[in-house]
A and B are shown apart, each in its own frame.
Chain A
Amino acid sequence: MRTFAKMAAVVMVGALALTGCGKTSSEKDNNASGSSSVDVCKGSKGEPKVGVAYDVGGRGDQSFNDSAYRGLEKAVKDLGASCIEAKATTSDNDSIREQRLQTLADQGFNPVIAVGFLYSPAAAKVAKANPNTNFAVIDGYSTTIATDAKNLSDLVFAENEGSYLVGVAAALTSKSKHVGFIGGTHGDLIKKFEAGYVAGVKSIDPKIKIDIQYLTEDPSDAATGFENPAGGKQAATAMYQGGADVVYHAAGKSGLGLFEAAVAAGEGKWAIGVDSDQYLTAAKDQQPHILTSMLKRIDTAVFEFVTAFKEGKVQSGFVNYDLKVDGVGYSTSGGFVDPIKAQIDAAADKIKSGEVKVPEKP
């Protein structure tokens, strides 16, 4: 009997590991059909042929990956490009990422855009092997590895500057003088969001209390960090119950749980979205709680990269998307930030002029 029970436990764990949490994938599909019901890549013909390799979470996260997808969508519509998309899994290694990028290049896709910094080592290697294909890595550092590659670009963002602005919005909106931040994995990238947000809040009122929680301390556990709406909801619920009334997330798809928690917490509790304008994709009952979203214009970066490629003007190396070039910003959908817009824009002007330097590390 004991053996049987153990056997059952093993089979369950094995099944969970093998399916990589089947629940999230079905949710993913639902969301994908909800946010962008038409798949622009299906049946698209034309030049350039753009290959996109997504990060964990994939299209349908309504956040990071979807922002890249919107850029792709625009490239197909405005430039007549065609495209193909490739999915990532949480158990990828560098060889598998290399194979993914290489296969896209082999299939004649050029340029190839990799979404997420994890692709950096793979892109550096594949770019060297395929000098006639252009590669770009969102958030990447690939050009620090392949320093002489002319066909390789890292599209990087000033997440701290955008987060500063929503931090200002949070501080001006909070009545309880208590706000929160939920991060995905506790890595350098997400800490940049935290640092900017905290600086923004403190710039309005240094006495405001800020709860900070990361969904996992394990840097490799993207599943718990970024594909975990239940965990996001739990963390947010605790913050709201503890008295916070504005919570900002940088946790990809896990952030969807934050919106649910805000609805459950009721009137006067706000959530701030990330990467995409999440007001637009949120459910009707969630919309009244979404104060604003920190926009990370991956869509702009993708679109501009494809445009530059078409015109033969690709810039290799790091391409910076900061506040000055509208690479980051905040959304106004829903109109909740309209009364404080002047103050947020004033803060933005100070960053643009260099008067305020937003820290990158907490």
Chain B
Amino acid sequence: MSRWMRLGLPVAAVVLALVFSGVVATLVLLFTGDDVVGFWRVLFTWPSERDLVDIINMTAILYLSGAAAAIGFRMNLFNIGVEGQYRLAGLFAGAFAAQGLLPGKLNVAAAILVAMAVGALWAGIAGVLRVWRGVSEVISTIMLNAIAGSLIGFLLVKWGESTGNARNTKMMPEDSWTGFFRLFPDVSDGAYHLSLLAPLVGIAFFILVYYTRFGFDLRAAGASESAAVSSGVSVKKMIVVSMLLSGAVAGLIGVPMMFSEAHQYGSAFQTGLGFTGIAVALLGRNHPMGIAFGALIFAFLGQQANLLNILAGVSPDIVNMTQGIIVLSVVIAFEVIRRLATRIEQRQVATQLDAERQGDTALKGASA
């Protein structure tokens, strides 16, 4: 297949899926009697500077979540537990940073390591259960999510502090707060300093998957377990290691916002990002670049949900639904395109073979 086709087809698939989602959303809005014109007007209005900042931050956070899910997906592991992993990691990182054991930014770095370790351990439980007892990681990670939630509640009640009606960890010392990269002079907030973790993870993910022995084994084992085994890959080791990696990245999800905004773990800590990450990974086809694109779309739509609600009277549920339709359509569009590409390739090979055969017969005829 030509290079042009290889690049063009996925882009076409995504565009097609987006257009299709738009049509479905419009139909649903017509059906529910909502303000369709208002919906599209708000959606196509260039976001304000303040909103752009929020979209950038959310993209970084969702990228981390998508990457965490994608690492598992690459190994055919469905780590549904990103949700529990990053929340528990956030709690421990927040509690650790609040102790102020280390000075200034060193404390932040250590807290990030704590977050990664906690995320990795919590995911590792599911990995070990899988290789040791054959427990499906889908089930165990869902269970671990529930356990993480209750554990967080228990720990906060036991050791947390109350601020008004909210319950949280102690505020971290001020020299451990991270600030913002100011993007616009008129907006007091900017991109979180630690949102840089997202591109770092992206680059590391890319190198790991495409330029290392481990990445090759990962892709091989993900594509065909038996083939990987016969070529000497230890699948058990791969499962545990990719679960640990997935969990370690998951641990980072809550970190950028916590260190720049709340400076403590508590009721302000955003939940649900782990599930959104699964959708982002699906949307991004588990590819480091694709995930960035998926994260951007989800961050944009999430940010517009408020505006759509207030300015056009459209319920946030409709926006959620649109996000769901986009994921489904992208998955379907890629499948359609993949089959199309296979058929084109087959035809090309067939014509090539035909041409060769004819050439052969022509040659034979000439010699005869």
Contacts and interface: CB of A to CB of B under 8 A. Distances in A.
A141 to B, nearest CB: 2
A18 B156 CA distance: 28
B315 A87 contact: yes
Tell which of B142, B262, B267, B324 has the most Cβ of chain A within 10 Å: B267
Interface string A1-37: 0010011011001111111101001000000000000
A217 B154 CA distance: 7
A329 to B, nearest CB: 21
B60 interface: no
6 closest A-B pairs by beta carbon, nearest first, are: A141-B164, A218-B149, A17-B275, A91-B272, A93-B270, A217-B153
Interface string B64-91: 0000000000001010100000010000
Interface string A156-191: 000000000000000000000000000001111100
B310 A104 contact: yes
Contact of A22 (B157, B267, B270, B317): B317
Tell which of B136, B142, B164, B276 has the most Cβ of chain A within 10 Å: B164
Contacts of A10: 78, 80, 138, 278, 282
Nearest to A13: B80
Nearest to A41: B313
Nearest to A42: B313
Contacts of A86: 306, 309-310
Interface string A85-119: 01101111111100110111001000000000110
- Chain A's interface size range is 35 or more
A211 interface: no
B125 to A, nearest CB: 18
B112 interface: no
A182 B267 CA distance: 21
Given A15-B324, A89-B305, A95-B54, 20 more contacts: A9-B78, A10-B278, A13-B142, A14-B278, A17-B276, A19-B324, A20-B320, A25-B315, A95-B57, A95-B261, A96-B303, A103-B310, A117-B165, A144-B163, A188-B167, A189-B165, A217-B149, A217-B154, A218-B152, A220-B149
Contacts of B166: 117-118, 120, 141, 187-188
B310 A219 contact: no
Interface of A: 3, 6-7, 9-10, 13-20, 22, 25, 84, 86-87, 89-96, 99-100, 102-104, 107, 117-118, 120-121, 129, 139-141, 144, 154, 185-189, 216-221
Contacts of B310: 84, 86, 100, 103-104, 107
A91 to B, nearest CB: 3
Contacts of A121: 262, 268
A219 B315 contact: no
Given A9-B78, A18-B323, A96-B306, A90 B278 contact: no
B147 to A, nearest CB: 10
Contacts of B276: 17-18, 91
A146 B268 CA distance: 16
Contacts of A7: 78
A220 B275 contact: no
Interface of B: 50-51, 54, 57-58, 76, 78, 80, 87, 136, 138, 142, 146, 149-150, 152-154, 156-157, 162-167, 188, 257, 261-262, 267-273, 275-276, 278-279, 282, 302-303, 305-307, 309-311, 315-317, 320-321, 323-324, 327
Given A14-B275, A218-B150, A6 B136 contact: yes
Contacts of A17: 272, 275-276, 278-279
A89 B136 CA distance: 31
Given A6-B138, A216-B149, A91 B78 contact: no
Contacts of B324: 14-15, 18-19
A220 B275 CA distance: 15
Nearest to B162: A188
Nearest to A103: B310
B279 A14 contact: yes
A154 B165 CA distance: 12
14 contacts: A14-B275, A14-B279, A15-B324, A17-B272, A17-B278, A18-B279, A25-B315, A91-B270, A99-B50, A120-B164, A121-B268, A139-B165, A218-B152, A220-B152
Contact of B164 (A117, A186, A217, A221): A117
A187 B165 contact: yes
A111 to B, nearest CB: 16
A220 B138 contact: no
Contacts of B269: 220
Given A25-B317, A90-B271, A93-B257, A220 B87 contact: yes
A50 B324 CA distance: 33
Contacts of B50: 99, 102
